Amino acid sequence: MELHFEELLGKITDFIKSEAKTETVVGEQFELGAFKCVPVIKVGMGFGSGGGESTEPKTGKGQGAGAGAGVGIEPIGFLVSKREEISFLAAGKTQGLAAVFEKVPDLIEKIAQNRNREAAEV
């Protein structure tokens, strides 16, 4: 078995280049009335590979290898333009009722801390 790390990593890199695009995740630029909207994404990547060889006299020769890659892609918002004005419109849960729900765990923790403090004072 012959190992070709360079070829394997090249194929993985080509796959990531073809898949980690804004168009793949949220679509292409579009117009909404007088506004032009360009989707923006965040991409994170990781690579790993390893291999080894053994020449143990009793068991003979052996080889082993592996490679992998991971990609995380997240839409984060839109660049919005109207004539000369450009702004960024964030996507996510940071507005309205969703923002309140994001803060609930912190609120519960503060209430518990206050109750513990009051109980210790008594």
Calculate mean pLDDT across residues 78-96.
79
Half-sphere exposure of 100 (CA within 13 A, CB side): 2
Is the same domain home to 56 and 27?
yes
How many other C-beta atoms are found inside a 10 Å radius of the C-beta of residue 8? 16
Is the same domain home to 74 and 115?
no
pTM above 0.95, yes or no: no
* pLDDT for the residue numbered 23: 66
Is the same domain home to 56 and 105?
no
Write the CB contacts of 33 (distance below 8 Å, at least 6 apart in sequence).
none
* pLDDT for the residue numbered 94: 57
pLDDT above 70 (res 42): yes
* pLDDT for the residue numbered 51: 81
Is the same domain home to 11 and 63?
yes
Q: Kindly report the CA angle at 72 between 69 and 75, in degrees rounded to 5?
A: 155
Rounded CA-CA distance 45/48 in Å is: 10
Higher-confidence residue of 3 and 41: namely 41
Is the same domain home to 85 and 27?
yes
Write the CB contacts of 47 (distance below 8 Å, at least 6 apart in sequence).
9, 12, 67, 68, 69
Domain count, the chain: 2
Rounded CA-CA distance 74/40 in Å is: 9
* pLDDT for the residue numbered 115: 80
Confidence of residue 25 (pLDDT cuts 50, 70, 90): low
Calculate mean pLDDT across residues 65-73.
78
Is the same domain home to 12 and 68?
yes
Is the same domain home to 40 and 100?
no
Is the same domain home to 100 and 72?
no
Is the same domain home to 42 and 97?
no
Calculate mean pLDDT across residues 109-118.
80
Is the same domain home to 76 and 40?
yes
pLDDT above 80 (res 36): yes
- Domain coverage including residue 120: 93-122
Rg of the chain (C-alpha set): 26
